[in-house]
Amino acid sequence: MYATANMLLTSSQAHAAEQSQETAIEVVLVKAVLDGDRDGFTRLYDLYAPLVHGILLARVPRAEVDDLVQDIFLHAFKKLHTLRDSSSFGPWIAMIARNRAVDFYRRSRETVEINDELRGSNTQDSRAAEILELIRNLPEAYRETLVLRLVEGMTGPEIAARTGLTAASVRVNLHRGMKLLREQIGFMEGL
């Protein structure tokens, strides 16, 4: 079972057309973990960490993201038995990540300074932090999709499959979000 999952995992990352295989991987890995295979969860982590990272990056300070990713997967490990549909692991952990981002601001509303946290040491990082800040100022519907596409390098079909959103929604969010981002970048460079 594990070997099969490993094989599927390697092949699924190649192309968006293999999304159905990715769902099969989720099912196999979730069942393996529930049957006592701890390493199966490491595979799930490898597969879904970029998604969780992207969701958090669109919402919380960059310095907090890595720790939160670990926390979220640890929480998911403890609560995996509550997941009813094994093929919905992606949407499930995406929901946990969004909720954790909300909790983060509830707990530390007064102390977070996003702009300062995002400033990088070199020019490239600084430029990246500025654009990320622009993305974060876009309507919520577009932030996450744009970060997953432009930062994490996922394709639209991959974003749809992993987040549980419809392909049409993702496509619209990408298109409109990109249009707004172009306007924002043009406005910023015009100053």
Query: Taking CB under 8 A as the criterion, which residues in 30-59 touch another protein?
Result: 33-34, 36, 38, 41-42, 45-46, 49-50, 53-54, 57
Q: How far is the CB of 109 from another protein (least distance, A)?
A: 20
Sign of dihedral through CA atoms 31, 66, 94, 146? negative
**Angle CA 188–126–176, to nearest 5:** 45
- Contact between 90 and 104 under an 8 Å Cβ cutoff? The reply is no
CA-CA distance, 35 to 162, in Å (whole number)? 23
24 near another protein, rule: CB under 8 A: no
The alpha carbon of residue 51 and the mean position of all alpha carbons in its chain are separated, in whole angstroms, by 2
Q: What is the footprint of another protein within residues 66-85 (CB under 8 A)?
A: 66, 69-70, 73-74, 77-85
Q: Among residue numbers 103 through 162, which ones bind another protein (CB under 8 A)?
A: 120, 124-125, 127-129, 131-132, 140-142, 144-145, 147, 149-153, 155-157
We find the least distance from the C-beta atom of residue 4 to another protein, in angstroms, to be 20
